[in-house]
Amino acid sequence: MLSLRKGRYAARFAESAADLLAAQRLRHLAFIANRGAAAGASGSACGTGIDADAFDPLCRHVLVEEARSGTLVCCFRLLPLSAGREIGRSYSAQYYELSALQDFDGPMVEMGRFCLHPDWHDPDILRVAWGAMTAYVDAEGVEMLFGCSSFDGTEAEAYLDAFAMLKERHLAPRRWLPRVKAPDVFRFARVLRRRKPDAKRAMLAMPPLLRTYLVMGGWVSDHAVVDRELNTLHVFTGLEIRAIPPARARLLRGVAG
């Protein structure tokens, strides 16, 4: 049972239909209303103000709330897989050809639909979310965490330095590298092979979730999927737990504990 409180914020699993509905409403606010995504995008219930899809019943949903008011400020969902042979069941497998990861022989979990309330900007929210994730990973013996990390909008030109940095420093190991599956992609590793990133501009443009993955040793696909329904560009992101630098792991476990 997940229960974590640090400072103003507390993380827990959704325990009821009302909890799940609250997460789906926050997802709609973050992904559809706030991003200008198409109504009904990605399985969302058109006109109802919720974001829901067929993966919701298969997942555990984590809520991060402001403890005093109970305001939901962050949520995400977890899809556990026993090993890489189940990778085809994941949300990410709709967009990426992931057969290389079928050989991964340890427990995996897909983190999806990660969102922050657009009116809340306290960095402690992200810290508590990652603390909750760390507690779950440790409790379940997870060996790989993966998902899709999204950039707002579908114009790659706004993120060329960020993509160039991903190409230069953070591509997946060849043995795990996802291949192209989606019909509309930006092959940044190929297009930007000669571009040297401006590090400051790159990090400013990097989404907070992806930035956290990268400082822990995460890696990405060599292309971004253009998702016009959700008005995003996203990259497949993987993190092998054993690769997390020891100092970073201690910080995470400090929050989780």
Per-position b or e across 128-143, b if 16+ CB within 10 A of its CB: bbbbbbbbbbeeeebb
Q: At what angle do helices 246-256 and 123-140 cross, to 10 degrees?
A: 100
Residue 37 has a pLDDT of 55
Find the helix or strand (DSSP H, E) in which 4 lies. Answer: strand 3-6
DSSP 32: I
Residue 36 has a pLDDT of 60
User: pLDDT (tens digit, 0 to 9) for every residue of the chain, 257 residues total?
Assistant: 688 888 899 999 999 999 999 999 999 999 888 766 554 455 554 567 999 999 999 999 999 999 999 999 999 999 999 999 999 999 999 999 999 999 999 999 999 999 999 999 999 999 999 999 999 999 999 999 999 999 999 999 999 999 999 999 999 999 999 999 999 999 999 999 999 999 999 999 999 999 999 999 999 999 999 999 888 999 999 999 999 988 888 887 887 76
Residue 106 has a pLDDT of 97
The position carrying tokens 């940044």 is 188
Beta bridge partners of 109: 80, 145
Q: What is the separation, in whole angstroms, between the first and last Cα of the chain?
A: 14
Domain hosting 143: range is 3-256
- The domain tally of the chain equals 1
Q: By C-alpha distance, which of 203, 64, 77 is closest to 123?
A: 64
Task: Report d(CA 129, CA 149) in Å as an integer.
Answer: 15
Residue 229 has a pLDDT of 87
In the structure encoding, which two tokens stand for residue 107, read together?
Answer: 């427990």
Q: 144-152 and 108-116: which strand pairing?
A: parallel
| CATH number for position 32 | 3.40.630.30
CB 136 within 8 A of CB 128: no
Residue 3 has a pLDDT of 80
Residue 234 has a pLDDT of 98
User: Which one-letter amino acid corresponds to residue 204?
Assistant: L
